[in-house]
């Protein structure tokens, strides 16, 4: 190249050409897809899988489509609508890099973490799908009372004991667990505070399965009339209970609890959460704390005045 030609190239204004230059290739080519990991409550993941089964779709693909819909429709997720349950489960999704870039751009505009935006889009979508399919999110999203009871009786209180004396205390501890796990409660206000007849049913089921101390496995013989009437009486509501009534797993029951705990990471984390709640709540003042924390469940209590009277005497002493 001549010296004059070189000088002419240096003196030329290249600013217009700069805008037309192609993008420089990446030093390290990006893979076609990327994986994001979303933390979800156990109940929400159960609901996702149930809707996917009803739609005959893979739940990963369905969750991914909800994120794409959120991006395309520029949906603004409602942070107040997001679940406050413990996010103990993981949902791993593969996204095209273009979709991931668009997700991050949307989250940046909202000044929100992109993982949170994706999770809230999914949570809003699952609610719409359940309504369209006529599915009950409470029944799908909450662990069975029997499972909660098994894990509760497998856990220890602060004194290292796992037995629970009395159906009323058992009812209240399961109520506390559910209030900390779910947005909607299966309990209602009754004679001794929050009550759910499923607790009595679950206790009977564990007894018949031979999982409780002093119980033997159910025989092939049909139940007697007296046994059936006793079940009806228990389901009719809480009643005065023998002072010595105790609920505790036997060796076979503890093996069943360990099997449930080890069946999935979600149940293992649920057990750890129940263990922490039992250590915090399974104390002599349980009933007073429940009435004070959730006063609407104490409105029909026949012993509310007694509980409040003991509380006042304790504070004045």
Q: From the CB of residue 144, how many other CB atoms can be counted at a distance below 10 Å?
A: 12
Say what the pLDDT of residue 182 is.
Answer: 65
For residue 65, tell me if it sits in a domain.
yes
| CA 289 to each of CA 84, 107, 149, 175, 211: distance values in angstroms, whole numbers, following the listed order | 22, 41, 20, 12, 30
What is the 8-class DSSP label of residue 25? Answer: P
Can you give the CATH number for the domain in which 62 is found?
Answer: 1.10.1220
Write out pLDDT tens, residues 108-162: 998 889 999 999 999 899 889 988 988 766 555 567 888 899 999 999 999 999 9
pLDDT digits (tens, 9 = 90+) for 197-219: 889 989 998 999 899 998 654 44
Same domain, 79 and 160: no
How many angstroms separate the CA atoms of 54 and 41, rounded? 20
Q: What is the pLDDT of residue 218?
A: 42
Query: Does the global pTM surpass 0.85?
Result: no
Local confidence band at 177 (pLDDT 50, 70, 90 cut-offs): very high
Question: What's the total number of domains in the chain?
Answer: 2
| Residues 163, 293 share a domain | yes
Q: Which of 111-115, 183-187, 305-309 has the highest mean pLDDT?
A: 111-115
216 and 95 within one domain: no
Quote helix, strand, coil % in the chain, to nearest 5.
60, 10, 30
In a domain, 7, yes or no: no
Angle between helices 265-281 and 251-262 (to 10 degrees): 120
- Overall average pLDDT of the 286-304 stretch: 91
- Say if residue 196 is in the same domain as residue 310: yes
Domain that holds residue 40: 33-140
- Domain stops at, among 124, 140, 156: 140
Select the more confidently predicted residue: 296 or 316.
296
Domain shared by 166 and 287, yes or no: yes
Mean pLDDT of the 22-37 span: 74
Predicted local confidence at residue 220, as pLDDT: 39
pLDDT at 184 exceeding the cut of 90: no
Boundary-marking domain end, from 140, 170, 198: 140
What are 241-267's pLDDT values in tens digits? 444 589 999 999 999 999 988 887 778
CA distances from 210 to 6, 152, 204 (A): 95, 17, 10
DSSP-assigned letters across all residues of 100-137: HHHHHHHHHHHTS-HHHHHHHHHHHHHHHHHHHHT--H
| Placement of tokens 């057990």 in the chain | 271
Q: What is the pLDDT of residue 84?
A: 53
* Higher per-residue confidence, 41 vs 71: 71
Look at residue 17 and tell me if it is in a domain: no
Q: 3 to each of 7, 9, 124, how far by Cα in Å?
A: 6, 10, 68
Mean pLDDT, the chain, integer: 81
Residue 224 lies in a domain: yes
Same domain, 167 and 117: no
Domain boundary residue among 140, 160, 192? Answer: 140
- For 32, phi then psi, to 5°, come to -70, -30
pLDDT surpassing 50 at residue 185: yes
Judge whether 37 lies within some domain.
Answer: yes
């Amino acid at each position: 190249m001549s010296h004059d030609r070189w000088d002419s190239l240096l003196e030329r204004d290249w600013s217009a050409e700069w805008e037309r230059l192609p993008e420089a290739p990446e030093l390290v080519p990006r893979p076609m897809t990327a994986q994001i990991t979303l933390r979800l409550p156990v109940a929400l993941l159960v609901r996702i899988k149930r809707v996917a089964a009803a739609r005959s779709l893979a739940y990963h693909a369905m969750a991914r489509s909800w994120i794409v819909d959120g991006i395309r429709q520029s949906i603004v997720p409602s942070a107040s609508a997001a679940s406050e349950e413990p996010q103990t489960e993981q949902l791993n999704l593969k996204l095209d890099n273009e979709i991931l870039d668009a997700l991050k751009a949307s989250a940046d505009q909202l000044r929100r973490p992109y993982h949170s935006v994706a999770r809230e889009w999914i949570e809003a979508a699952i609610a719409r799908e359940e309504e369209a399919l006529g599915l009950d999110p409470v029944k799908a999203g909450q662990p069975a009372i029997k499972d909660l009871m098994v894990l509760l009786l497998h856990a220890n209180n602060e004194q290292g004991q796992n037995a629970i004396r009395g159906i009323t205390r058992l009812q209240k501890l399961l109520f506390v667990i559910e209030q900390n796990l779910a947005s909607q409660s299966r309990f209602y206000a009754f004679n001794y505070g929050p009550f759910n007849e499923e607790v009595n049913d679950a206790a009977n089921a564990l007894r018949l399965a031979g999982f409780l101390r002093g119980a033997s496995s159910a025989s092939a013989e049909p139940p007697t009339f007296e046994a059936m009437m006793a079940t009806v009486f228990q389901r009719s509501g809480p009643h005065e209970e023998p002072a010595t009534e105790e609920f505790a797993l036997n060796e076979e029951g503890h093996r069943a609890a360990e099997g449930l705990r080890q069946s999935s990471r979600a149940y293992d984390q649920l057990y750890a959460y129940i263990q922490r709640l039992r250590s915090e709540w399974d104390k002599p003042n349980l009933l007073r704390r429940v009435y004070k924390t959730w006063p609407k469940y104490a409105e029909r209590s026949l012993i509310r005045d007694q509980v409040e009277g003991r509380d006042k005497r304790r504070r004045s002493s």
